[in-house]
Amino acid sequence: MGMTMTQKILAAHAGLDKVVAGQLIEADLDLVLGNDITSPVAIKEMEKMKVDGVFHKDKIALVPDHFVPNKDIKSAEHCKCVREFAKRNEITNYFEVGEMGIEHALLPEKGLTVAGDVIIGADSHTCTYGALGAFSTGVGSTDMAAGMATGKAWFKVPSAIKVVLTGKPGKWISGKDVILHLIGQIGVDGALYKSLEFVGEGVEALSMDDRFTIANMAIEAGAKNGIFPVDDKAKAYMAEHSSRAYKVYEADEDAEYEQEILIDLSTLKSTVAFPHLPENTHTIDEIEEIAIDQVVIGSCTNGRLDDLRIAAEVLKGRHIKKGMRCIIIPATQKIYMDAMEEGLLKIFIEAGAVVSTPTCGPCLGGYMGILAEGERCVSTTNRNFVGRMGQITSEIYLASPAVAAASAVTGYISGPDSL
Amino acid sequence: MQAKGIVFKYGDNVDTDVIIPARYLNSSDPKELAEHCMEDIDKDFVKNVKKGDIIVADKNFGCGSSREHAPIAIKAAGVSCVIAETFARIFYRNAINIGLPIIECPEASKGIEAGDEVEVDFDSGIITNVTKNTKFQGQAFPPFMQKIIAAEGLVNYINNK
């Protein structure tokens, strides 16, 4: 019996010819990632270990992005701890305010993640890099500490769900609609412990930014990772951003999948996940008038250039509804700059939106857009759990940039076609 | 190794945002985190929990964020064991790594109610509902996992080796 794409990458990094689902392996790591929330705990753990520094100063990425620029004194202390650790250990890929971005948008852009890599990160959305054909998965701080110290991590080889994409998506349909549709179908634990392997001729019709969004939210179905085949678009992306050699792995013809799911992209409609789980999905045509207070466009899920272009296309020549707040957060400094040069930021500001420096801020209820009691937000982020963006009675509706921007104009949950 | 305590019962998909809301993640001090444990799902939890008590939940416990602060907060609040139908995978790893015992057992999750007194034997994996006088077979902890938990986590376990 053959191996899936994920299994092949894991086998190669464990020095094995073959692995099977359920097998416990120890794999070499190409990159270990942490942010300002998770790294301080990892640093404390690593310093308890009897080790002499990190395994490789170029293979660790430290990205303060959640509560930076420092939101309060305690956050400042956390960031200081990460900064000093990076300095002490001469970490090459430490990104200070001014050069940072939201980690999962930043690392591919900086060329630090490529096809064939095995990557762990102390952040659940580390699965994003599957868009490039890498195996990447979220871990906790202790695993991050062990990874930084040894360059290795143990894994249980996952079984897989094959998601076959066909057709071409309609005008306003993006990666967010694809992944929300899938989570709505299989549930928030529908892929628990498994890999989600996206294949089929429909992949071609998805931009790299769409694929990053889809792989990013694999964790919201409980998956260990999400992964895409490496086609010409992925190769072109890596050629543009990275000087690292990459390796393309393909699933065997006779690879085993526990389940196969077909998605015809041409049939998808704009999809919104209602509070308080990403699986509570509704298509835009079945949603009654739901008044909202705030819109957030950004995050590691949807803060990339394509996302901002779509939002700008909707907002151009229009204005945010009076009394609404619309917060737009380019995910990296480069995206910010590109958006500025393309005139997108001007469109946003003229429409009455506020544009922020890159930060995870509101997505996890940190700062930069916290909700008051009973307030509702349409957000392009990834989680709508109780209290995720603020007070526990506030509500988050997860949607694509197109729906978020249209909703900012009307003041209630709307698709761009209704404008 | 054993655990014994009174049960706090929760449903499906208890996420790490309700276990420890991100607004408190500007701290990584276990005691401070414990003061806000489960706050957004059960504001009386911290007031009522006693050392040794047990959390029982349905499926996908600990889903969402990879924050290790979640099992740290539960452990520091005094909880001796979490029993659930299933756990989200990052939470599972994190709990073992910091030395918080957790057991998957769908039958126990169905057969135990809030306020029941429950005893867990980690060698055999047997979960006893003392209040209802029923027993469930959970997964036994292999010796290395018991050692990790006894050492209060993976780091100490590695150092002790």
Give me the count of residues in chain B: 161
**What is the spatial distance between Cα A41 and Cα B95, in angstroms, rounded to a whole number?**
14
Cβ–Cβ of A49/B158 closer than 8 Å? Answer: yes
What are the C-alpha distances in Å from B105 to residues A142, A223, B6, B108?
25, 21, 17, 5
Full residue range of the structural domain in which residue A394 is found = 270-413
Residue ranges in A22-154 assigned as alpha helix (H): 39-48, 73-88, 103-109, 141-150
**Backbone dihedral angles phi then psi of residue A288, each to the nearest 5 degrees:** -75, 180
Q: For the domain that residue A386 is a member of, what is the CATH number?
A: 3.30.499.10
A213 with A345, same domain: the answer is: no
For residue A306, the SS3 value is helix
**What is the spatial distance between Cα A103 and Cα A128, in angstroms, rounded to a whole number?**
10
A143 in B contact zone (CB under 8 Å): yes
The shortest CB-CB distance from B93 to any of A140, A364, A388 is to: A140
Task: For CA atoms B21, B24, B26, B27, give the dihedral sign.
Answer: negative
Cβ-based contacts of A67 with chain B (< 8 Å): 25-26
- pTM value? 0.97
Name residue A294's beta-bridge partners.
A325, A377
- Identify the closest residue of chain B to A189 by CA–CA distance: B60
A205 with A330, same domain: the answer is: no
Cα B149 to chain center, whole Å? Answer: 12
Is residue A407 domain-resident? yes
Cβ–Cβ of A387/B28 closer than 8 Å? Answer: no
A79 with A227, same domain: the answer is: yes
CB distance A338 to A40 below 8 Å: no
Give me the count of residues in chain A: 419
Is residue A418 domain-resident? no
Question: How far off is chain B from A47, nearest CA to CA, in Å?
Answer: 10
A41 in B contact zone (CB under 8 Å): yes
pLDDT tens digit at each of 419 positions of chain A? 899 999 999 999 999 999 999 998 999 999 999 999 999 999 999 999 988 899 999 999 999 999 999 999 999 999 999 999 999 999 999 999 999 999 999 999 999 999 999 999 999 999 999 999 999 999 999 999 999 999 999 999 999 999 999 999 999 999 999 999 999 999 999 999 999 999 999 999 999 999 999 999 999 999 999 999 999 999 999 999 999 999 999 999 999 999 999 999 999 999 999 999 999 999 999 999 999 999 999 999 999 999 999 999 999 999 999 999 999 999 999 999 999 999 999 999 999 999 999 999 999 999 999 999 999 999 999 999 999 999 999 999 999 999 999 999 999 999 999 99
CA B91-A14-A118 angle, to 5 degrees, is 60
Please give the tally of structural domains in chain A.
2
A124 with A183, same domain: the answer is: yes
Cβ-based contacts of B153 with chain A (< 8 Å): 45, 142
**What is the spatial distance between Cα A36 and Cα A97, in angstroms, rounded to a whole number?**
12
**What is the spatial distance between Cα A123 and Cα A127, in angstroms, rounded to a whole number?**
9
**What is the spatial distance between Cα A416 and Cα A314, in angstroms, rounded to a whole number?**
7
The shortest CB-CB distance from A192 to any of B27, B65, B86 is to: B86
ipTM of the prediction greater than 0.90, yes or no: yes
Domain stop point among A219, A240, A263: A263
Is residue A308 domain-resident? yes
A312 with A190, same domain: the answer is: no
**CB pairs below 8 Å between A and B: how many?**
125
- Identify the closest residue of chain A to B60 by CA–CA distance: A189
Cβ-based contacts of A74 with chain B (< 8 Å): 26-27
Cβ–Cβ of A366/B59 closer than 8 Å? Answer: no
Burial call A291-300: b when 16+ CB within 10 Å, e when fewer: ebbbbbbbbb
A105 with A27, same domain: the answer is: yes
**Backbone dihedral angles phi then psi of residue B80, each to the nearest 5 degrees:** -95, -20
**What is the spatial distance between Cα B51 and Cα B116, in angstroms, rounded to a whole number?**
15
What are the C-alpha distances in Å from A64 to residues A154, A243, A388?
26, 24, 20
Q: How, if at all, do strands A354-355 and A376-379 pair? A: unpaired
Question: How far off is chain A from B133, nearest CA to CA, in Å?
Answer: 32
Is residue A299 domain-resident? yes
A388 in B contact zone (CB under 8 Å): yes
A345 with A374, same domain: the answer is: yes
A111 with A246, same domain: the answer is: yes
Is residue A175 domain-resident? yes
A245 with A341, same domain: the answer is: no
Question: How far off is chain B from A251, nearest CA to CA, in Å?
Answer: 24
A194 with A279, same domain: the answer is: no
Is residue A419 domain-resident? no
A161 with A91, same domain: the answer is: yes
Domain stop point among A263, A282, A309: A263
Compute the CA torsion angle A23, A29, A30, A31 (nearest 10 deg). 120
Domain stop point among A235, A263, A291: A263
- Identify the closest residue of chain B to A51 by CA–CA distance: B159
DSSP state of A401: H
What residue type is A234 in one-letter code?
A
CB distance A109 to A334 below 8 Å: yes
A250 with A274, same domain: the answer is: no
Q: Which helix (H) or strand (E) holds A152?
A: strand A152-156
Name residue A17's beta-bridge partners.
none
Is residue A305 domain-resident? yes
Tokens (6 digits) for B69: 């602060």
**What is the spatial distance between Cα A98 and Cα B102, in angstroms, rounded to a whole number?**
42
**What is the spatial distance between Cα A32 and Cα A120, in angstroms, rounded to a whole number?**
5
Name residue A201's beta-bridge partners.
none
